Structure 1
Amino acid sequence: MKDYMELDSAAQDMLKELGNIGTGNAITALSAMLGKEIVMECPEVRVVGFNEVPDTLGGMEAIRVGVLVQTGGDISGIFMFLISESFTQVMLEQLLGFPVEAGAYDELASSAIAEVGNIMCCSYINALSSLLGFKVEVSVPEVSRDMVGSLLSVPIIYFADHSDNLLLIEDRYFIDDQSIVSHVLFLPNLESLKRIFSAVGEPYGR
């Protein structure tokens, strides 16, 4: 069975272009939403094994805020936007106009987090649709605050039989003087992975 790691360099370059376009759109939207100038570094787009993801995010016990959206249509799978609590607090203060205690996210705060996560994920989904000519439907976003191991358990268990790897996009940017790092994970299901390979000119399976 074939997975991301068997894509040739041209196909992996296409996935990196997806990350570049999606990040640019996401940061533009986030800047407008927060009313702040955001200085963006070049995103790092990697195909990584499931077992590498926790360390990239600070370890299994690191606390992160996650926004998960499921996709349907031509691409069925999961996009997950992951941010630190410090970034979450900065973001919420800008959006709501008052400080929010770490982890104390009421309905208003959770709604704001969901909206930002939805914008970020949809920026990549729209880039994917544009690059590959796909039609993609998006679910209502789900917000969770938990340890990295817990946040990743459901999507990884659900999709582990489709591929040993996933697409990890790491974004680094500056809001005022604060350095921010966020991550987007993309896990397509088996049929969607086949469509992606076909769209980038890769035969599926061996």
Structure 2
Amino acid sequence: MGISIEELDSQQIDVLKEIGNIGAGNAATALAKMIDRKIDMNVPKVEILEFKEVAELLGGPEVPVCGIYFRVDGDISGSIMFLLTLKSSTTLTNMIMPTSGDMEIPDEIGQSALQEIGNILSGSYISSLSALTGLSIKISVPSLAIDMAGAILSVPIIQFGQVGDHVLLIETEFNEGNNEVKGFFFLIPDVDSFEILLKSLGVLQ
């Protein structure tokens, strides 16, 4: 059995937080290139939380959210989920397609754009992780769901319940003019992958 998130010490957590900062910075740069406008980013908050706390952070398990889910494969395996409140997902869609208006739920074209944004942001994050660790890491084609936070989070909870009930969460806030987007990335490595990741970062013997 590999190391779980609950067993990490403060040095290991600090290293993972630093990777979160670098990955989020690269994601903001990628988003700015995509929309060809300046993007400001607040310093990301990187925390280790229980799954149930993630839903509270989004406003509670009953709040509708947009979730973009990826499998991670290669030297490490697991999954990434990128979560946005519906308000943030609409704002993000409008940054790319100003004609999309103020729909509460993005339409098919908007959802397609969100998948592409999720792909670019998660790809930037994984590229940073790969560059820092020297590991070969690939992500799958994204799948997008719009549902209540509790329902969306139940997928990784069931899938990775054996790894533990904690998750590494990166809360990122992007600003473009008056537009503010708050997104939540979380990385859920499979059982053996945390150990590989920490060893490659030099914080585990």
Q: Please, what TM-score do these two structures have when normalized by structure 2?
A: 0.91
For residues 1-206 of structure 1, what are the structure 2 equivalents within 5 Å? 2-100=3-101, 101-106=103-108, 108-199=109-200, 200-203=202-205
- The alpha-carbon distance between structure 1 residues 198 and 42, as it changes in their structure 2 partners (threshold 3 A), is same
- The alpha-carbon distance between structure 1 residues 120 and 33, as it changes in their structure 2 partners (threshold 3 A), is same
Q: 2-side partners of 1:44 and 1:201: how far apart? A: 21
Contact 1:7 1:202 (8 Å CA) reproduced: no
Contact 1:19 1:45 (8 Å CA) reproduced: yes
Note the C-alpha offset of 1:197.
3.2
Amino acid in structure 2 at the alignment position of 1:54: A
Contact 2:70 2:81 (8 Å CA) reproduced: yes
Q: 1-side partners of 2:186 and 2:56: how far apart? A: 14
- The alpha-carbon distance between structure 1 residues 97 and 177, as it changes in their structure 2 partners (threshold 3 A), is closer
Amino acid in structure 2 at the alignment position of 1:152: L
Q: 2-side partners of 1:96 and 1:173: how far apart? A: 17
Contact 1:34 1:91 (8 Å CA) reproduced: no
Q: 1-side partners of 2:72 and 2:204: how far apart? A: 22
After superposition, what is the alpha-carbon deviation per residue over 1:65-102, rounded to whole angstroms, capped at 9, x for unaligned?
A: 11111111111111011112222222222323412522
Q: 1-side partners of 2:76 and 2:157: how far apart? A: 17
Amino acid in structure 2 at the alignment position of 1:116: I
Amino acid in structure 2 at the alignment position of 1:102: E
Q: SS of 1:98's equivalent?
A: helix
Query: Quick one: percent identity of the two aligned structures?
Result: 36
| Range with bigger deviation, 116-125 or 83-92 | 83-92
Amino acid in structure 2 at the alignment position of 1:42: V
Q: 2-side partners of 1:14 and 1:186: how far apart? A: 14
Q: 1-side partners of 2:165 and 2:93: how far apart? A: 35
| Range with bigger deviation, 122-131 or 146-155 | 122-131
Contact 1:66 1:145 (8 Å CA) reproduced: yes
Q: 2-side partners of 1:32 and 1:5: how far apart? A: 37
Please, which runs of 5 or more residues in structure 1 have no aligned partner? none
Contact 2:21 2:43 (8 Å CA) reproduced: yes
Q: 1-side partners of 2:65 and 2:6: how far apart? A: 27
Note the C-alpha offset of 1:4.
1.8
Q: 2-side partners of 1:89 and 1:55: how far apart? A: 21
Q: 2-side partners of 1:89 and 1:163: how far apart? A: 33
CA RMSD in angstroms comes to 1.6
Please, which runs of 5 or more residues in structure 2 have no aligned partner? none
Displaced runs of 4+ in structure 1, greater than 4 A? none
Amino acid in structure 2 at the alignment position of 1:43: P
Q: SS of 2:162's equivalent?
A: coil
Amino acid in structure 1 at the alignment position of 2:66: V
Q: 1-side partners of 2:55 and 2:130: how far apart? A: 28
Amino acid in structure 2 at the alignment position of 1:3: S
